[in-house]
Structure 1
Amino acid sequence: MNTYKVITISEGAAGMRSQIEGLANLISDSYENFDLKLKSIFKNLPIELIPTSSFAYSNLSLLKIEKNTILISCGKKSVKASVYLKRKFKDLIFNIHIQDPKINYKFFDLIVCPEHDNLNFDNCISTLLAIHNIKFKKNIRNKNTINFIIGGPNKYFKFQQQTQEKILNEIKFLSNEFKVNVIPSRRTPRGLIEELSKIDNENVITFNDLFNPKKYGELLSEGNLQVVTWDSISMISEAISSEAGTFLFKFEEKFCPKRYLKFFDKITKLNFAQFYNQNLKPYEISIDEYNKNLKTKILNKIQSNLRFRSSNA
């Protein structure tokens, strides 16, 4: 791997950046980020209508490839950029796209996607947990600390008022025994965050602007237990990766899609997570073997590409 340069490309959004950096960290000691700038006239077009050309981007021509390079992309706006760079630099590039690219899979050397995308191609590796760039600290767990991680409305869950009240009540209940770090997300309803901030209890700390991966990783490392609302597979994956006992907080169950239920079934059978109840018992998770197997699969795909492997580094 030391002979390969790694470049990640995306539109710079935090979630996509987390995934491409997470994959880059898994397979390499170093990498470069390149934030794509798609021209405004193409931003609202579906993928198939975005030109496979440097013309579609205001800065893509600045990216130079002169040696074997692993190119990792994520997000709609990076799909055609990856295909264009592969065509331009040919065997110097091994291009990996994270998630379903929504175009012909043959344009990519490798696609890494969640199992629920159901892509079953020779150049596809499915992952159970979402890939991320969160780094954790060792030996700072506090047995009296719980993290309560809150998502927000999406196309499946509405986060109704009843749901918000349920979350508030459970946090207040847990604060009778534990210090509770409340960690909202970008999607968490503003009204809920305001109500959380009003809780007059020294055992409840709400982190209103926690979008720093480093600080987030430190909090997850400190928590002896992680309680996560079940609306986000990414947040659940991040909590599991901390290797602290992770508990799924259910709500609005009638809206929960089958692909989520399938994911929950797998992670609970592996003891990566349990469903939340008020009688929480700490337990440890180990995902070392999971990460090792994923890394091996990806590196094997890269190293099996004979033309790429035989190119001059």
Structure 2
Amino acid sequence: MPLPLIIWAVSDGRAGIENQVLGLAEAVARISPAKIIKKRIRYNDLFDRLPSALKIMPDRMLSPGSDTLDAPWPDIWIAAGRATIPHSSRMRARSKGQTFVVQLQDPRHNLKAFDLVIAPEHDHVAGGNVLSIIGSTNRIEATKLNNGLKAWRNKLKSLPKPRVAVLIGGRSKAYDLDAAHAQILAEEVHAAITQAKGSVLLTVSRRTPLEARVVIEDILKDLPGIIYDGQGDNPYFAFLKAADHFLVTEDSVNMVTEAASTGKPIQILSLERRSLGSGEKFEDFHETLRAKGITHPFNGTLAGAPYPPLDETRRAAEYLLDMYHNRK
């Protein structure tokens, strides 16, 4: 029996980035035996804002709390995020070609430094070693969803259907969510769920401004359901499993992609654009999902139908392993 592959899942530890890396690593492990080692790296404040090209001694620039990146090297290196680029781009040389280097997202770097780049279609990255996928890789799969539901089953089973998962993002480079817009969204969501005689499963993100979060929670709190306030066990996987319908803000590729992995109807909640022309890449992403019948705009009522679940993470894992086993 062959030894399990050693995979390093490397990120700066931010949940949205780390979940993409772990999601792909776990998908590989479901296909081929593997041991996954999570690595979190962060730079000393003095060096953090330097461009990747100027991080010429990246190991020495890391903060004391970072994980070590020393031999023995992994069989497969999967990384995402700006912080990982100086290390990813050197890994083939450091490992003397032993390590197969995979970089997620658009690295904005010489693509030849990596064995494989897996980037969202809407980033428009092209090259012989590039796999374009819809959205982002993620950790959503049946076992995790079923396990996530167990702890929340008693609280969820009595809620009226349709159970509507409302996934709220917030402020980013392209989008914003102030209190006034949050009130409009929340009132429309409240009316739609009331009309459908359903219940709400609400969760916000770290990017949701406090004033917007307070408004949304206050307006939706009289509906039957669960409002996750960030305290205690996170019901996110349980929400994905239990929901009959999703309402997701347009700013989060991760949340939309994760909801799409369930095959359940999704409607997109519009946010405010922060500047003229911002959000164009996101619109490419949403147009792709609309064309496939996966998502629909939210116009005040629940709409949409089931569709074949989106499983780009498995496709990426299969492609990765094929390249790994057939590399020269």
TM superposition score normalised by structure 1: 0.86
1:108 aligned to 107, 110, 114, which one?
114
SS of residue in 2 equivalent to 1:244: coil
Give the match for residue 136 of structure 1. Answer: 145
Give the match for residue 41 of structure 1. Answer: 46
SS of residue in 2 equivalent to 1:154: coil
Q: Distance in 2 between matches of 1:247 and 1:215?
A: 20
TM superposition score normalised by structure 2: 0.83
Query: Aligned pair count?
Result: 305
The structure-2 alpha-carbon separation of the partners of 1:67 and 1:42, relative to structure 1 and needing over 3 Å to count, comes to closer
Q: Distance in 2 between matches of 1:54 and 1:82?
A: 12
Higher mean alpha-carbon deviation, 196-205 vs 114-123, is at: 196-205
Structure 1 unaligned segments of length 5 or more: list them: 307-313
Q: Do 1:224 and 1:282's aligned partners in 2 also have CA atoms closer than 8 Å?
A: no
The structure-2 alpha-carbon separation of the partners of 1:62 and 1:187, relative to structure 1 and needing over 3 Å to count, comes to closer
Give the match for residue 311 of structure 1. Answer: none
Trace 1:59-70 onto structure 2 (pairs within 5 A).
62-66=68-72, 69-70=75-76
The structure-2 alpha-carbon separation of the partners of 1:210 and 1:155, relative to structure 1 and needing over 3 Å to count, comes to farther
Q: Do 1:47 and 1:102's aligned partners in 2 also have CA atoms closer than 8 Å?
A: no
Q: Distance in 2 between matches of 1:126 and 1:263?
A: 12
Q: Distance in 2 between matches of 1:128 and 1:61?
A: 31
Give the match for residue 32 of structure 1. Answer: 37
Give the match for residue 251 of structure 2. Answer: 231
Q: Distance in 1 between matches of 2:120 and 2:58?
A: 28
Does residue 191 (structure 1) correspond to residue 211 (structure 2)? The answer is: yes
Does residue 172 (structure 1) correspond to residue 190 (structure 2)? The answer is: yes
Q: Deviations over 1:47-68 (max 9, x none)?
A: 1111154323357894344466
Does residue 126 (structure 1) correspond to residue 132 (structure 2)? The answer is: yes
The structure-2 alpha-carbon separation of the partners of 1:58 and 1:189, relative to structure 1 and needing over 3 Å to count, comes to closer
Does residue 57 (structure 1) correspond to residue 62 (structure 2)? The answer is: yes
Structure 2 unaligned segments of length 5 or more: list them: none
Deviation, structure 1 residue 297: 2.1
Q: Do 1:136 and 1:242's aligned partners in 2 also have CA atoms closer than 8 Å?
A: no
Higher mean alpha-carbon deviation, 153-162 vs 15-24, is at: 153-162
Deviation, structure 1 residue 159: 2.0
Give % identity: 21
Q: Distance in 2 between matches of 1:230 and 1:174?
A: 18
Does residue 270 (structure 1) correspond to residue 316 (structure 2)? The answer is: no
Deviation, structure 1 residue 292: 4.5
1:241 aligned to 231, 256, 261, which one?
261
Q: Distance in 1 between matches of 2:306 and 2:106?
A: 32
The structure-2 alpha-carbon separation of the partners of 1:68 and 1:10, relative to structure 1 and needing over 3 Å to count, comes to closer
